[in-house]
Structure 1
């Protein structure tokens, strides 16, 4: 089982328009669904037929809407009630593929609520270990009220069960988590450089590896993915895609990385699959949804290669 944790989930609203024009009225196609990076990962895994459960704190009116949508879509989930109100995000996607986002900051999580979240994750991991080959995916920014070392605490918790972790976050929480030795960290290129203060992506990835990450997978949009481990470096570039919606493409690649860890896939295969699934997600209107036909086509068309 692949357990995902989204500490700052949202009710995602996507408006699809031909072109966004300031100061005018639009009549968009509208999609509303449970969101947050870990939720997107679980939604993708569920569509792939993989066993997963999305753990997330929920509160308020929009929290109930998130819960209802997850139930309707069949995505397995474990909600922890909190006093604060779940946030909303609004993304306006133009026909050209340009996406404009409006992301609320989200609620504060209390110390007691944090303890309940950790207990829920621990219980699910204990069960997942019995089922075999579990992975814990930790995605997104931390909510207010949670310390920067929160992800480090969860990685240590998973390590106690022998469960590898994939971490997709940025800034201080990313750096604080490295000493706990996550199996994979997956910043995008900007987050990688910002976290280290460096100007060279390869050197920045090596720095995260030196600080404790087992592997660093960095994404750079249409330029694809690069992985760096103590054993070597590999890259995979997806086909050029015109238009589409890049929102959630990084979460799709995390889903593929989680599947690769469960299956024990070699890096060449794992990275190519992540690039293919990410590209197939860009072709859709919403995060957590991918074009299945394109995914199969890309899997045969994309190949990863070692880097010097």
Structure 2
């Protein structure tokens, strides 16, 4: 089982407009509302791949009840721990003209110390049955920067592998606990390391404790630096649509590959194919199955160095 953790779960609202024009009124021609947050999106992709998965995290208030109801409606098992505050909403505006997405993220409710203790106690039980734990997204107000570090430590005790997809202080605070994979994008990598060069930034995160770094470079694919070597994997075609779910699809592929024991080149090939297949879909958490099948055997993976010694 793959356990996905969403500490800042949300009800994702997506508006579709013909074109996004600053300082103008817009007619919304389609609207989607669904449970979200990065870990929830990862779980949706994993479930579509046939992977046993469980959603946990924090949810509260009327918005939390709505997102839990939507999870039940689509058959996603959840062990979200209740909190007093109302869960956040995110708003994404997708322009049909060019496929660009503009995202508005609320900070989320403040989590109280007793709520965090209740969550970590439940998480410590759930992680015993997990092969891989995915820890995704921002931390809500009230949680310490080392919240993910605490969860990675508990996963290690349970002998579960960890995939961490976060940024800023939460990412830096977790590195010395040795997450199995961290997945920053290029901007997040530069922000926490000061390196604009992807390879240098990945090496810096490895030096701080990450066992493997998979950096997403948008339409240019992935760069991976691991204990076994380093690779670049690039998509064979550019796809138009809504790119907001591509990173979560990538994380789903990384988690599934770790659970299956797939060698790194195969994991990266799947990750690029699956993230690219998410782009044509209107909302995060979905992917186009035909595109995924077409790309998964076509993605080239370049072996940059056969071996790499941990700094």
Q: TM-score, normalised by structure 2?
A: 0.95
| CA distance in structure 2 between the aligned counterparts of 1:136 and 1:54, rounded to whole angstroms | 10
**For residue 59 of structure 1, what is the aligned residue in structure 2?**
60
CA deviation after TM superposition for structure 1 residue 94, in Å? 1.1
Alignment counterpart, residue 246 of structure 2, candidates 226, 246, 249: 249
Report SS of the residue matched to 2:33: strand
**For residue 291 of structure 2, what is the aligned residue in structure 1?**
294
CA deviation after TM superposition for structure 1 residue 273, in Å? 0.3
The answer to whether structure 1 residue 226 and structure 2 residue 223 are counterparts is: yes
CA deviation after TM superposition for structure 1 residue 240, in Å? 3.1
| CA distance in structure 2 between the aligned counterparts of 1:27 and 1:136, rounded to whole angstroms | 37
Q: Tell me if structure 2 keeps the 8 A contact 1:70–1:76.
A: yes
**For residue 282 of structure 1, what is the aligned residue in structure 2?**
279
Q: Tell me if structure 2 keeps the 8 A contact 1:276–1:302.
A: yes
- What is the CA deviation profile of residues 124-181 of structure 1, one whole-angstrom value per residue up to 9, with x for unaligned ones? 11233xxxxx101100111111111111111100000111100000111111101100
**For residue 142 of structure 1, what is the aligned residue in structure 2?**
139
**For residue 44 of structure 2, what is the aligned residue in structure 1?**
43
| CA distance in structure 1 between the aligned counterparts of 2:231 and 2:62, rounded to whole angstroms | 45
**For residue 162 of structure 2, what is the aligned residue in structure 1?**
165
| CA distance in structure 2 between the aligned counterparts of 1:63 and 1:146, rounded to whole angstroms | 18
Alignment counterpart, residue 121 of structure 1, candidates 117, 123, 136: 123
Query: Structure 1: any 5+ residue segments left out of the alignment?
Result: 129-133
Report SS of the residue matched to 2:117: helix
- What is the CA deviation profile of residues 212-250 of structure 1, one whole-angstrom value per residue up to 9, with x for unaligned ones? 100000001101011001321111111333420001110
- What is the CA deviation profile of residues 237-277 of structure 1, one whole-angstrom value per residue up to 9, with x for unaligned ones? 11333420001110100000000001111111100100000
| CA distance in structure 2 between the aligned counterparts of 1:44 and 1:256, rounded to whole angstroms | 9
| CA distance in structure 1 between the aligned counterparts of 2:149 and 2:107, rounded to whole angstroms | 22
Q: Tell me if structure 1 keeps the 8 A contact 2:17–2:26.
A: no
Q: Identify which range, 24-33 or 106-115, moves more after superposition.
A: 24-33
Q: Tell me if structure 1 keeps the 8 A contact 2:239–2:276.
A: no
CA deviation after TM superposition for structure 1 residue 36, in Å? 0.4
**For residue 19 of structure 1, what is the aligned residue in structure 2?**
19
Report SS of the residue matched to 1:280: helix
Q: Tell me if structure 2 keeps the 8 A contact 1:41–1:254.
A: yes
Q: TM-score, normalised by structure 1?
A: 0.96
Report SS of the residue matched to 1:25: coil
| CA distance in structure 2 between the aligned counterparts of 1:200 and 1:126, rounded to whole angstroms | 38
**For residue 308 of structure 2, what is the aligned residue in structure 1?**
none
| CA distance in structure 2 between the aligned counterparts of 1:192 and 1:25, rounded to whole angstroms | 35
**Segments ≥4 residues shifted beyond 3 Å:** none
Report SS of the residue matched to 2:294: helix
Within-5 A mapping of 1:174-213? 174-213=171-210
Report SS of the residue matched to 1:300: coil
Report SS of the residue matched to 1:138: strand
Q: Cα RMSD (Å) of the superposition? A: 1.1
Query: Structure 2: any 5+ residue segments left out of the alignment?
Result: 306-311
Report SS of the residue matched to 1:69: helix
CA deviation after TM superposition for structure 1 residue 79, in Å? 1.5
Q: How many residues align?
A: 303
Report SS of the residue matched to 1:307: strand
Q: Identify which range, 36-45 or 14-23, moves more after superposition.
A: 14-23
